[in-house]
Amino acid sequence: MHLTTFLANDLTDSVTRAGKLAKYAESPGGSDYYWGFRLAARRLFLEDVPFDEAVGVMARMTVDHQRAANQEALRNLYRWKLGNPGISVEPPTGEIAGPKGSLIVRLDPAFAITRKGVTEAYVPWLYKDLRLPRAVGGMGVFLLELGLQTGEFENWKFYVMDFATMSRFGHGAIARSTGRAVVSALQAQEDLYLAAKAVA
């Protein structure tokens, strides 16, 4: 599952979380209607195309409210890009597994830019009705740094950014308890996933 799905699961009650993880057990990888945003973001940054051209990738989306949510988030990203110029680069990708190796969390920043000598990679949070608290944003950054901040990327900065509120969470959102919270969330979600998989 994508990092943002993992974080969103952590914000839901146990019944909702179990239901969502059961869907992953039936269909590994799950579904993510923010794929249009990520493709368009890559076009905005890596190909440096204008908004009107980048948003065209969303024409294939058949659910109106999903397409509208993607377009609104992309509009916010485009404004942010204009106000934060830099050189676009390809972000790294990776995975973190749960303690039993069955639940895989994909670390897949949508874009990265180099500004003032520092390279920043961003994972977008696009849930309009589910706010991203600082503590959970810190969990996302913790996982990004754990899985991606190595080798040629060791000096990169990683962020989870809420494109509804335009709140950005970086290394400063990681608290002393963040590592324990991540381990607990990975174990809890993996246990639910494995239980659902056993009856699927």
The answer to whether 70 touches 34, Cβ cutoff 8 Å, is yes
Hey, what are 178's tokens?
């963040």
Please tell me the total count of domains within the chain: 1
Please state the φ and ψ torsions of residue 87, each to the nearest 5 degrees: -100, 120
What is the per-residue pLDDT for 199?
A: 83
Q: Tell me 133's DSSP state.
A: -
Token pair 């989306």: residue: 61
Percent of the chain surpassing pLDDT 70: 96
Residue 188 is assigned to a structural domain of this protein: yes
Q: Which residue spans within the chain are E strands per DSSP? A: 87-89, 94-97, 104-107, 111-115, 118-125, 157-162, 167-169
Over the stretch 164-193, which tens digit does the pLDDT of each residue have?
A: 889 999 999 999 999 999 999 999 999 999
Domain boundaries, position 103: 3-30+86-199
Residue 81 is assigned to a structural domain of this protein: no
Q: Tell me 163's DSSP state.
A: T
Query: Among 78, 115, 111, 80, which Cα is nearest to 93's?
Result: 111
Task: State which amino acid sits at residue 45.
Answer: F
Residue 57 is assigned to a structural domain of this protein: no
For the cut 90, the answer to whether the pLDDT of residue 69 exceeds it is no
On average, the pLDDT of the chain sits at 92
